[in-house]
Amino acid sequence: MAQDVLCEVNNCTFWAKGNKCSADKIYVVSHTGDTADTSKETDCQTFESSDL
């Protein structure tokens, strides 16, 4: 399992110094069903805006 999850979305609640993701769990979904062929076909559902 990945030890370091990188994130460049600075307005995410889970963004941490060094572009690290501080979420306990990461949930990624595909736009196209059960599979994806490229990263552009996925979304991080863990994202929560810190701009609220």
- Span 14-47, pLDDT tens digits: 999 999 999 999 999 999 899 999 999 999 999 9
Q: Are the C-beta atoms of 44 and 13 separated by less than 8 Å?
A: no
Model pLDDT, residue 37 = 95
Domain count, the chain: 1
Nearest to 4 by CA among 20, 18, 16: 20
Structural domain containing residue 34: 1-52
Read off the amino acid at residue 6.
L
Distances in Å between the Cα of 47 and the Cα atoms of 21, 37, 43, 51 are 10, 21, 9, 12
Is the pLDDT reported for residue 1 higher than 90?
A: no
Model pLDDT, residue 52 = 64
What is the pLDDT averaged over residues 8-15? 96
- Whole-model pTM? 0.80
